[in-house]
């Protein structure tokens, strides 16, 4: 048997502790699968005294993760510190420059510095694996980077944030408001004390930007992503969606269009009978549409110590199975130097169906005015429903429009016009509809 693969782990939070424990517990089985032992020989964490329920007795401790990363006594540096700069970036860079393979779960780091880090890894001939950075334990990186070679991706979309999906699932199941569910989610540990990063879609955007690069061979451009969170989704939206045969999910979507690549994160109506609509709670899912294969869907646990550790250990095992002299494929599917600049499609040119919910004053001519604005924008309607307003005011009505395929620009123009007409008693709600099998 080959010599043991020596692992240095920086960051011993929930995920780090899980990684150390899984490697220890599955030592014999991993050796059987990889043809060599995998051993955590060194760690770095701020708190050296906390009991993490793992045996670190014979493990070397490093105060500085960058020093651990560059240490010649390890073969693989595992970065689980988090953050898009600071010690995470410094240590990953130091590790790669020193010729260590690196495994990271850090989506923020990759979204910001992924291409630069990939260039170092490819220059040094080492692996930079990051399965855990997107959709937790779901092997979407491996699938896109390896299994789909030969396929041209047309669209990739998914439920990439467990907190948002948990909130939307409970809002639908229990009929309670966003604020109520959020508070409960915070109490139960499914949402952070400051939930902005999750509920406003930034976390989804980071993950989507990585998938976009893998899908389309472009440089990572997380800042160019159109972003809408779920905090303004109401029970009225969820009920109207259900009546129309849809369910609301926060999706990240990247697709090839004539005017460039669309990257967008927003609440989305998906058909209730689609597979992705059945993805409940903290579960994540990714759908990939390609020219050769067609549509592939992967769903599973998107977060949590063990699910993330599963992906990290899978990445380490891939390195353990490789041997000196081996060159794996490039970090983002294509050589980092050849990744093309990201050409952003304007959100205004997005084409699709739209759900529009209006709260209007119950007056003669309102309906005609709304219809005229839609017609003026060349928007053809699939359905129109009018009923009593949810706001409990008899002088108000709710009008729900579902459009056929149209453009974002046309919808914005029509809704702006309706707003100017002065018939609205509340902010108009616009939710995009996404085709899904």
Question: Using the rule CB under 8 A, is 236 a contact of its own copies?
Answer: no
Question: Using the rule CB under 8 A, is 33 a contact of its own copies?
Answer: yes
Neighbours of 150 (CB within 10 A): 9
Q: Are 104 and 37 in contact (CB under 8 A)?
A: no
Q: How far is the CB of 162 from its own copies (least distance, A)?
A: 12
Angstrom distance (rounded) from CA 282 to CA 200: 16
Question: Using the rule CB under 8 A, is 152 a contact of its own copies?
Answer: yes
189 is in an annotated binding site: no
Question: Using the rule CB under 8 A, is 329 a contact of its own copies?
Answer: yes
Tell me, yes or no, if 207 is annotated catalytic. Answer: yes
Choose the binding region for its own copies from 43-51, 185-193, 288-296, 397-405 (rule: CB under 8 A).
Answer: 288-296
Query: Which of 336, 338, 342 is closest to 120 using CA atoms?
Result: 336
Give the one residue of 59, 143, 186, 231 binding its own copies; rule: CB under 8 A. Answer: 143
Catalytic residue (one of 93, 207, 249, 397): 207
Alpha-carbon torsion, ordered 206, 212, 218, 220, to 10 deg: 0
Question: Using the rule CB under 8 A, is 309 a contact of its own copies?
Answer: yes
DSSP 379-420: PPEEEEEEEE-TT--TTEEEEEEEE-SEEHHHHHHHHHHHHH
Choose the binding region for its own copies from 63-71, 329-337, 372-380, 426-434 (rule: CB under 8 A).
Answer: 329-337
Question: Using the rule CB under 8 A, is 158 a contact of its own copies?
Answer: no
Angstrom distance (rounded) from CA 357 to CA 351: 19
Q: Which of residues 8 and 333 has its CB atom nearest to its own copies in the complex?
A: 333
Question: Using the rule CB under 8 A, is 297 a contact of its own copies?
Answer: yes
15 is in an annotated binding site: yes
Give the one residue of 20, 94, 148, 221 binding its own copies; rule: CB under 8 A. Answer: 148
Q: Are 179 and 199 in contact (CB under 8 A)?
A: no
Q: Which of residues 208 and 339 has its CB atom nearest to its own copies in the complex?
A: 339
Torsion sign over Cα 196, 202, 206, 208? positive
Question: Using the rule CB under 8 A, is 270 a contact of its own copies?
Answer: no
Structure tokens that stand for 411 in this block: 């919808």
Give the one residue of 201, 333, 352, 353 binding its own copies; rule: CB under 8 A. Answer: 333
Question: Using the rule CB under 8 A, is 292 a contact of its own copies?
Answer: yes
Q: Which of residues 215 and 366 has its CB atom nearest to its own copies in the complex?
A: 215
Give the one residue of 52, 256, 321, 412 binding its own copies; rule: CB under 8 A. Answer: 321
Phi, psi at residue 306, to the nearest 5°? -70, -45
How many residues are there in the chain? 437
Give the one residue of 225, 265, 307, 431 binding its own copies; rule: CB under 8 A. Answer: 307
Strands 101-104, 128-129: pairing is parallel
**Any idea what the Cα angle at residue 116 is, between residues 197 and 133, rounded to 5°?**
40
Q: Put residue 287 in one of left, alpha, beta given phi > 0 → left and psi -120 to 50 → alpha.
A: beta
Choose the binding region for its own copies from 47-55, 290-298, 367-375, 378-386 (rule: CB under 8 A).
Answer: 290-298
Structure tokens that stand for 358 in this block: 């209006």
Structure tokens that stand for 205 in this block: 């955007």
Give 11: exposed, middle or buried? Use CB within 10 Å, 0-12, 13-18, 19+: buried
Give the one residue of 9, 15, 20, 30 binding its own copies; rule: CB under 8 A. Answer: 30
Q: How far is the CB of 335 from its own copies (least distance, A)?
A: 7
For binding to its own copies (CB under 8 A), which residues are involved?
Answer: 18, 22-23, 26, 29-30, 32-35, 131, 137-139, 142-143, 146-152, 217, 273-275, 277-279, 290, 292-301, 306-307, 309-311, 313-314, 316-318, 321-323, 325-330, 333-335, 338
Instruction: Please state the residue numbers annotated as binding site.
Output: 10-17, 107, 192
Instruction: Please state the residue numbers annotated as binding site for NADPH.
Output: 107
């Amino acid at each position: 048997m080959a010599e043991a693969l020596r692992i240095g782990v920086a960051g011993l939070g929930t995920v780090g502790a899980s990684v150390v424990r899984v490697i220890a517990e599955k030592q014999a089985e991993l050796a059987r699968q990889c043809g060599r032992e995998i051993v955590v020989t060194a760690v770095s964490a701020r708190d050296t005294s906390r009991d993490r329920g793992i045996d670190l007795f014979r493990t070397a401790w490093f105060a500085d993760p960058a020093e651990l990363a560059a240490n010649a006594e390890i073969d693989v540096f595992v970065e689980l510190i988090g953050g898009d700069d600071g010690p995470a970036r410094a240590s990953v860079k130091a590790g790669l420059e020193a010729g260590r393979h690196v495994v990271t779960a850090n989506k923020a780091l990759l979204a910001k510095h992924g291409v630069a880090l990939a260039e170092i890894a490819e220059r040094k001939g080492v692996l930079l694996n990051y399965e855990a950075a997107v959709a937790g334990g779901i092997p979407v990186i491996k699938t896109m980077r390896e299994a789909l070679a030969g396929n041209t991706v047309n669209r990739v979309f998914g439920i990439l944030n467990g907190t948002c999906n948990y909130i939307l699932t409970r809002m639908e199941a229990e009929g309670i408001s966003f604020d109520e569910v959020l508070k409960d989610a915070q109490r139960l540990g499914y949402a952070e004390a400051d939930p902005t990063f999750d509920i406003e879609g930034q976390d989804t955007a980071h993950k989507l930007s990585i998938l976009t690069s893998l899908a389309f061979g472009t440089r990572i451009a997380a800042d160019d992503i159109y972003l809408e969170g779920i905090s303004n989704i109401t029970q009225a939206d969820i009920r109207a969606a259900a009546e129309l045969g849809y369910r609301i999910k926060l999706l990240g979507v990247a697709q090839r269009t004539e005017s460039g690549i669309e990257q967008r994160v927003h609440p989305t109506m998906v058909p209730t009978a689609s597979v992705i609509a059945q993805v409940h709670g903290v579960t994540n899912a990714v759908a990939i549409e390609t020219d050769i294969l067609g549509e592939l869907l992967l769903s599973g646990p998107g977060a949590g110590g063990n699910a993330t550790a599963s992906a990290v250990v899978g990445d380490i095992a891939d390195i353990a199975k490789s041997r000196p002299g081996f060159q794996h494929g490039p970090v983002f599917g294509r050589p980092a130097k050849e990744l093309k600049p990201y050409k952003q499609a304007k959100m205004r040119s997005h084409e699709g169906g739209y759900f529009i919910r209006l709260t209007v004053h119950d007056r003669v001519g309102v309906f005609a005015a709304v219809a005229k604005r839609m017609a003026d924008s060349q928007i053809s309607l699939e359905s129109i429903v009018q009923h009593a307003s949810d706001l409990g005011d008899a002088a108000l009505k709710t009008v729900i429009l579902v459009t056929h395929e149209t453009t974002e620009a046309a919808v914005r123009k029509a809704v702006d016009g309706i707003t100017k007409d002065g018939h609205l008693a509340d902010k108009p709600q616009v939710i995009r509809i996404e085709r899904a099998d």
